[in-house]
Chain A
Amino acid sequence: MSAPLRALPAVFSLGLQQQLAYRWNYFLRAIFSALPLLVSWVFWGAVFQGRETVGPYTFAGILTYYAVLLVVEAVCQPSDDDFQISREIREGMLNPILLRPLPYGLYRGALFAAGRCAYLVAALIPVSFCLLLLSRVIDLEWANFNLGHGLPALVGAALLQFSLTLCLSLCSFWLLDVSALIFLVYALEFLAGGHVFPLDLLPAPVFAVVRLLPFAYEYWFPAAALCGHLTDGAWKAGLCLQYGWAFFFLVLAHFIWKAGLRRYTAAGG
């Protein structure tokens, strides 16, 4: 096994320890992440008052979508990786990392994976509690649940979110503060990614455009694949686009890193 690959388990373990250093902070984050499901339940309950369906969704169907979205979020959404990368560049903390025989992308990838694993465990209790509570008052639509479609889409979404985060945060080589850029892309991800509402509720022409963008493959596509809303053809086409976008952003991040390193000045010991 090559040296970088041998180092990865150690970096992963380091990442886990970093994430679990402040357990209460982490646990609070997980609890708060489950609150929107409660709000969705109340709000969509009013929307469905006197109606069987809204667009292609029943009330149970839309709540199942939001419940699955919680899982997608736990598996794929970076927690603090973007700001950590930005800090490492801005404050010169890259110096010790550059000396190690480990590509920076792989190093950050291992930390990202550790963060997701730790968060998944922390979110397990509040998310399960929320799902249990919800399933007592409404029959969630688990019958069409498709793990075969969902798992590859989840891995693709995690890869896509990681590569996009890497691209954005590496802009710190040129910008003093990337937080505004990061929050602007967050907003786009929330709207065009299907975080605020399922994208198939959009008017058909808008939906046709939005599903070509990378954001749709961060939340909506894995959630729809897990819920079993996609035909085989739509799933395969979506998967190709999802991995295509992830590959594009990984290559872009590689070039940004190369260009950024030429500008980077290491100062101090």
Chain B
Amino acid sequence: MKLLRLWLLQVRYAATRELMFRAGFFVWVAVELAWFVIQLAFVGVIYHHVDEVAGWSRNEMIVLVATNQLVMQIFTAFLMPGLSKLPDLVRTGKLDFILLKPAPPPFLVSTSHLEIGPLANGGIAIVVLAGAVQGLGLHPSWMELGSYLALILAGLLVHYAVLMALVSLTFWIIQAESVLLGYYTIFHVARIPREASTGWFRIVFTLVVPLLLVANVPASTLVRGLEPGPIVIFLLSSLWVAVLATSFFLLGLRRYQSASS
């Protein structure tokens, strides 16, 4: 309860700070929107030549891509801004100020900043998603919609785990800005239909780091209904990677040496 109150305070403070630069807000919405348009254009070009990919029709693929965009934008709004500043905090020694506060460091690091722009793009993703669902003639039940939202939260856990693990490398490597590029690159996997992959690729990205499930399981829930097996695997594996990444961060923290005088 204390952490929730603290998080709401941080959100209010960060929102006030964000709204000081309104022009920047609209420009960044346009930038993020452009990247979403690229993904939709890719789907358009593929389905200009084929009717289905791994059993997914055009509209089903749009549900997958829009779901991936929705998870990514929520993550970019609430958790990514704070996490991506960790390399800088470690290098300059400003992490001291966070460690002195009476709250868990992983929580403070990941929630210290907020961006509102991605939420607008999350809204656009929902509109595209709704259009594709309507195009498929689907009428998801309340149960399916509730599960979809819960699975989006599990997807956020996976995003948190991957970025937390990558930025924690900063405790060993002096300049680790490339990890952000790594984060964006790794999540290309999330946009592939699960059925497209086989062998070790499928095992690694389902059970070890469940990137293949982040958008696939929620999108399948809307398109094909509730499938208990994949849902349970996804929920367990997302918890597993989040715990592992947080432990990795805490391990790195033991190496941190304060830079203050």
Contact, CB under 8 Å: B196 / A180: no
Closest A residue to B166 using CB positions: A28
Chain A: residues with Cβ within 8 Å of the partner, total of 36
The verdict on A103 contacting chain B, using a C-beta distance below 8 Å, is no
CB-defined contacts of A45 to chain B, threshold 8 Å = 196
Q: Does B88 contact A (CB under 8 A)?
A: no
Report which of B35, B38, B45, B192 forms a contact with A202, defined as CB distance below 8 A. Answer: B45
A209 within 8 A of B: no
| Neighbour of B196 across the interface among A33, A36, A43, CB < 8 A | A43
Query: Across the interface, which residues of A come within 8 angstroms of B174, CB to CB?
Result: 22, 24-25
A151 at the interface (CB under 8 A from B): no
Which of chain A's residues have a CB closer than 8 A to the CB of B46?
47, 197
**B196 near A46 (CB under 8 angstroms)?**
yes
Do B173 and A24 touch across chains, with their CB atoms under 8 A apart? Answer: yes
Q: How far is the CA of A49 from the CA of B174 in the complex (A)?
A: 45
Where the two chains meet, the residues of B that have a C-beta atom closer than 8 Å to any C-beta of A are: 24, 27-28, 30-31, 34-35, 37-38, 41-42, 45-46, 48-50, 53-54, 169, 173-179, 181-182, 185-186, 188-189, 192-193, 195-197, 201
- Among A28, A177, A183, the residue within 8 A (CB) of B176 is A28
Chain B residues within 8 Å of A49, by CB: 54
A51 to B46, CA, bound (A): 13
Residue numbers in A under 8 Å from B37 (CB-CB): 187, 191
Residues in A neighbouring B38, C-beta threshold 8 A:
187, 190-191, 196
Residues of chain B within 8 A of A26, CB atoms compared: 178
- CB contact list, A150-199 vs B, under 8 A: 177, 180-181, 183-184, 187-188, 190-191, 196-197
Q: By the criterion CB–CB under 8 Å, are A197 and B49 in contact?
A: no
Not counting A46-B195, A190-B38, a sample of 17 additional A-B residue pairs whose C-beta atoms are within 8 angstroms of each other reads A22-B173, A25-B176, A28-B169, A28-B182, A32-B181, A33-B185, A38-B201, A42-B201, A46-B54, A54-B49, A180-B30, A187-B31, A187-B38, A191-B38, A196-B41, A201-B48, A201-B49
Cβ-defined contact, A201 with B45, below 8 A: yes
A39 touching B188 in the complex, CB below 8 Å, given contacts A29-B178, A180-B27, A180-B31: yes
Q: Does A269 contact B (CB under 8 A)?
A: no
- Any B CB within 8 A of the CB of A203: yes
Smallest CB separation, A40 vs chain B (Å): 9
Assess whether B31 is in contact with A39, with CB atoms less than 8 Å apart.
no
A47: nearest chain-B partner, CB-CB = B53
B45: which of A42, A43, A188, A197 is its contact (CB, 8 Å)?
A197
Contact across chains for A43 and B30 when beta carbons are under 8 A apart: no
Q: Which residue of A lies closest to B177 (CB)?
A: A25
* Residue from B41, B50, B175, B182 within 8 A of A22 (CB atoms): B175
Does A35 touch B at the CB level, under 8 Å? yes
Give min CB distance, A114 to chain B, whole Å.
Answer: 18
Q: A55 at interface (Cβ–Cβ under 8 A)? A: yes
Contact in complex: A35, B41 (CB < 8 Å): no
B49 with A55: CB separation less than 8 A: yes
* A46:B193 contact, CB within 8 angstroms: yes
Please tell me which one of the listed residues A180, A197, A201 contacts residue B24 in the complex, with CB atoms under 8 A apart: A180
User: Which 6 pairs of residues, A with B, have the shortest CB-CB distance?
Assistant: A46-B196, A187-B34, A29-B178, A22-B175, A32-B182, A46-B54
Q: What are 16 A-B pairs at a CB distance below 8 A? A: A24-B173, A28-B182, A29-B178, A32-B181, A32-B185, A45-B196, A46-B195, A55-B49, A177-B24, A180-B30, A180-B31, A181-B27, A187-B31, A197-B45, A201-B45, A201-B48
